[in-house]
Structure 1
């Protein structure tokens, strides 16, 4: 009897297995919680939330912050710079009430995860619906052919421009979840230029991840972490900017060498066995020999389609938009494109529904990933992991402290994928430890950004499975492609942290 070839489990199975493991961890790791401090702008006072007791209100002044061991300017709370409740140092307590998650909690959590993630799910569905309508008009096929002709012989320039776009977005305002729509747009374009499907996947994810990891002025990462650590984000800014340039060059070189290797021999492609399947999926109806030009109506549709992403970037960066506002804007654009398309009402609506139906699997993955965080939160083990981590690094020498801290933030980033959430939880606890070992608190901020940023490349609880599902790439193939680069970046940031702790 012929033995079947081993196939790596789907993203759904991997996430559900992780969900089971995290549920079991709530039975092993004690539940615990730090007291939280927040600012109530209605009464202009601080509110201290304690476990198993009533909230306490205190006057919002600098002295009370100092008494709590929080070395942060009180204005940061009053002007809204710090919005999320902040962990108060030396207040960790074990929770007597049992918080272990049951089998019923495990089964319910994916449903709750879908409900909690409904804003991003609706955003993905609407965008994919628009793609379905634009595809029906033939606009994308003609546009891809035109771009392919103009970039022939200089295809790598397309990689460089796209990579830098996402890296700049990541380092300035945390361009991460907002990259989701670009996979279904850029993958066909890259495939039509002769690349395998791994190249657009890596260009978008590596560019964005490296930008977020080496954040310079990202308000959701470096700035909020610096504020929570009680320092200005300008401390270490030049160092982070230089690191961003160095690692971006390394990332582009890594992509270039991979592209060169695959061009020499297509069998060297990590995704060689699914390349034909990818082309059929993303280049359906694409005819390279077709000689067509965009009509005025198609040009207007293409302009609107691209223009909405510019509005999205502006809204997120300047107006504080989140997925609800972005989805509403995209929905409005969808209606306009339907009218411009020249399709009948039935054709337009069916094209929209068909496009949206292609990402139902992505929606399920988003819900499953959120379910893992829900089990962690309800099991109350995140604070316990932070408490144990702070005990590990306490008393270490500066160089070792910074390197171990990097590993701790990478570990915590698996369970707390939100950069702002991890910042306000961990910085008040871990940043003061830098004072005891005689190094700058900016080292802790760098360890936070680089540790959590490094895990963005592979953590199943983040965006990676969503992107892989869109691209149709198995997780094991992504790991095979990206792990050598992660090792290189890891060694580099360890060296930079060690060097900075000695300066």
Structure 2
């Protein structure tokens, strides 16, 4: 009797993050610790605070002369009006520092502690996810979501491609203009059933939503959390280089749409072509499937429920884009939606509460993934290796010719973006260091902003430390299936970016 070989199963999102965490933690033993001195603005005292590598602080007058003295080519107004609210790295100030001592027990302690700290640091996003899940549980209990989707499917008949084009285009526009990212997690439970009833698979839904957000953010035009803050930190206007960013948005989003539609239509015509055939059979997918006979009616109460629910998203997008809201504020919006639904949904009190708890429970694993992913960044911060990596790469590229410089810089930002997931944090750390190098090699500083945007944005397509694992967890898709789907698009986008960067150098310098 022969034993059948067990089929290899790719690890879950949690395990992938733990593997990355262990890998990064191991790297911190070999990468020297070091820090740049930083400059920040104390609004209360109207002065600059200089913090050196040993964490000693000193005060300096908040004047342009002080910025010039430290070779920070940024207008004083950017600090005083709050545009630059994070400490800015001071060029040529990097110093090695003593590596924090860690024995076996210290390493184990760090491994465990950073996970708890990651959860604590992400609590606002986690609560948002749980509240959204609870609200969706209530909406689903009324039958409004399924009934509404059935009506939409009738309109989509023969026009399924437009579902991808419109949704990806709108999400990409949000990513490019105000950094729509984590907020898209709320879209999956709503949009996945629509894709399924249109004949597509769950991977198509993830591709449409996540690629829209990631490619849109990568090709940022006026995103305040990347292009604007990076341009200010580089000492230029965020409008510098805008034409090339608009062209990049059109080309990269268009490429992502074509790529996704090509896959989606192949699946619609032959479901066996889906990369997630097995995942689609999983019992957990039942939450996304619709019974046409059971959900055939669409009552006025259900229409009102969907209208109230949709209004929450309208208010969320307006608040994020126009009022600078973050997760606390938008969670309050959906908590208010929940209380309104308590009065209008027509559910019994026990059914309402059970639906909310059940809906929140469905997304508990997703919320946990968000917190766990944050722990990787905390290891980098507490081990003081981020600045060392930055210093190494800035020295590496400083003497290259312009074309080679911008090409290598793009890949440098891909690597930095893998470890430093905060776009604004990477901007204020790197721009005062990298932007002056543009002057040395004779290229426009706006091209540095493009290399930063496109590098740290592109790596988000596959970075386990970013949102991709969280997005895949929403629909129970393995990371290996996503890599198999997206790698060709990744290569094509890299080629597009390099062509655009070299064209920028030749035309703008």
The normalised TM-score by structure 2 is: 0.97
Q: Which residue of 2 aligns with 1:392?
A: 396
Q: Which residue of 2 aligns with 1:63?
A: 65
Q: 1:199 to 1:343 in 2, by over 3 A?
A: same
* 2:76 corresponds to 1:83: no
From 169, 172, 183, the counterpart of 1:167: 172
* Secondary structure in 2 matching 1:12: helix
From 351, 354, 359, the counterpart of 1:355: 359
How far is 1:281 from its partner?
2.6
Q: Matches of residues 334-483 of structure 1 in structure 2 within 5 Å?
A: 334-483=338-487
Map Cα deviations across residues 411-456 of structure 1 (whole Å, 9 max, x no partner).
0001110100000000000110010000011111000000001011
How far is 1:263 from its partner?
3.0
Map Cα deviations across residues 280-300 of structure 1 (whole Å, 9 max, x no partner).
43334x222457342222111
Matches of 2:380 and 2:505, distance apart in 1: 33
Matches of 1:350 and 1:404, distance apart in 2: 54
Unaligned 5+ segments in structure 2 are none
Map Cα deviations across residues 223-273 of structure 1 (whole Å, 9 max, x no partner).
111111111111110111011111111111111211232234322211122
Map Cα deviations across residues 67-100 of structure 1 (whole Å, 9 max, x no partner).
1011011100000111111111011011125265
Q: Which residue of 2 aligns with 1:232?
A: 237
**Number of paired residues?**
502
Map Cα deviations across residues 172-226 of structure 1 (whole Å, 9 max, x no partner).
0000111110011100111111111111110001111111000001010111111
Matches of 1:466 and 1:63, distance apart in 2: 46
Matches of 2:438 and 2:285, distance apart in 1: 54
- 8 Å Cα contact 1:191/1:279 also seen in 2: no
- 8 Å Cα contact 2:200/2:265 also seen in 1: no
Q: Which residue of 1 aligns with 2:499?
A: 495
- Farther-moved stretch of structure 1 (29-38 vs 263-272): 263-272
Matches of 2:269 and 2:149, distance apart in 1: 24
- 8 Å Cα contact 1:126/1:327 also seen in 2: yes
* Secondary structure in 2 matching 1:39: strand
- 8 Å Cα contact 2:17/2:464 also seen in 1: yes
From 215, 223, 228, the counterpart of 1:210: 215
Q: Matches of residues 148-163 of structure 1 in structure 2 within 5 Å?
A: 148-163=153-168
Aligned-residue CA RMSD (Å): 1.3
The normalised TM-score by structure 1 is: 0.98
Q: Which residue of 2 aligns with 1:178?
A: 183
From 17, 21, 24, the counterpart of 1:22: 24
Q: Which runs of 4+ in 1 moved over 3 A?
A: 289-293
Q: Matches of residues 261-340 of structure 1 in structure 2 within 5 Å?
A: 261-277=266-282, 280-284=285-289, 286-290=290-294, 292-340=296-344
How far is 1:51 from its partner?
2.2
